[in-house]
Amino acid sequence: MSENPSKAQPPVVDRATLEQQLEALRVREKAHTREGDAIAAARRRLPMAEVAADSTLLGPDGPMTLLDAFEGRRQMIAYYFMWWPGRPAAEQCEGCTWVMSHVGELAYLHSRDITFAVLCQGRNTAYGFADAQTSYEESLRYRAFMGWTMPWYSAQPSLETLLVGREPGLFHLVCYLRDGDRVFETYWTKRRGAEAVDYSYALMDLTAFGRQEAWEDSPAGWQRLGHATRTLGGAPDWPPLREEQPIGRPTAQWPRLDAGHSDDLGTTGTGPAAESPHCH
């Protein structure tokens, strides 16, 4: 991985030429930033729809409600984590693992009266529900394996209500507002919308080769390493997964294994075998 598999690279120019082209690009970047600000302003002006505050969740201490998950704060951002019941860690969702691996310090959210929580769905897009408590306990072991500390619940008992009109088993990022004992949904997004949580891809986008994924608009000959969320191995080589095959692991699992953490979820492969572990 340290050696460029392709000889293609940007042309070499003098400093003045580079700065001139950077300045031209800055005009577009600033316009992009201002458009993002305008979209955020429009988002703040959206209406909201009430959801059942007493929707049942499973927590580490037993059944609880959606209202309880706010932890007394005014707002909550909930990530609906996909889950393949009964399957080992290596087959779990690389997309959800990518998203959660970027969630660290929550103090900044808390300082604005916002809670961040994971609501595990207990199902994958390719497979329906299993026993809610069993699936939740599996997902808690996955959380421990990955070293995550964010609040973690199961939304499986109320998933059809909480994701009404959407596709259960696909990850969603949902924003809520609490008014006393009432709860309202103000915004939601899915798929690449979850990049709001990411910084790895955002940083890759600043580099000469970008994300190195097949869909990108890159110059001819630029290296293509497949998606970054699942790989065939970890450091030092990080062998890429160039095609979607039922092999590899979510990328962030490899450092956890290297550090000696157990990926035993207690599943013993009891769920249906996957033709491919890719989740979306």
Mean pLDDT (whole number) for 183-202: 91
Q: Is the pLDDT of residue 4 over 90?
A: no
pLDDT of residue 223: 86
pLDDT of residue 213: 87
What is d(CA 122, CA 120) in angstroms, rounded to the nearest whole number?
Answer: 6
Mean pLDDT (whole number) for 183-210: 91
pLDDT digits (tens, 9 = 90+) for 240-260: 876 665 588 999 999 999 999
Q: Are strands 114-120 and 75-81 parallel, antiparallel or unpaired?
A: parallel
> Which of 66-75, 206-215, 224-233 has the largest mean confidence?
66-75
* Contact present, 123 and 156 (Cβ < 8 Å): yes
* Contact present, 194 and 174 (Cβ < 8 Å): no
Question: Which residue type sits at 43?
Answer: R
pLDDT of residue 14: 94
Joined together, the tokens standing for residue 25 give 């690009």
What is d(CA 231, CA 224) in angstroms, rounded to the nearest whole number?
Answer: 14
Of residues 109 and 123, more confidence is placed in 109
pLDDT of residue 241: 77
Q: Is the pLDDT of residue 266 over 90?
A: no
* Contact present, 27 and 19 (Cβ < 8 Å): no
pLDDT of residue 272: 57
How many CA atoms are closer than 13 Å to the CA of 276, on its beta-carbon side? Answer: 10
- Chain Cα centroid distance, residue 234: 20
Question: Which residue type sits at 12?
Answer: V
177 phi/psi in degrees, rounded to 5: -130, 135
Q: Which of these ranges, 127-141, 158-172, 257-271, has the smallest mean pLDDT?
A: 257-271
pLDDT band at 173 (very low <50, low <70, confident <90, very high): very high
Q: Is the pLDDT of residue 33 over 90?
A: yes
User: CA Rg, the chain, in Å?
Assistant: 21
pLDDT of residue 246: 59
Q: Is 189 helix (H, G, I), strand (E, B) or coil?
A: strand
The mean pLDDT of the chain is: 89
pLDDT of residue 195: 86
Burial letters 73-90, b for 16+ CB under 10 A, else e: eebbbbbbbbbbbbbbbb
Q: Is the pLDDT of residue 277 over 80?
A: no
Q: Is the pLDDT of residue 78 over 90?
A: yes
H or E stretch covering 182: strand 182-190
pLDDT band at 124 (very low <50, low <70, confident <90, very high): confident
What is d(CA 171, CA 80) in angstroms, rounded to the nearest whole number?
Answer: 5
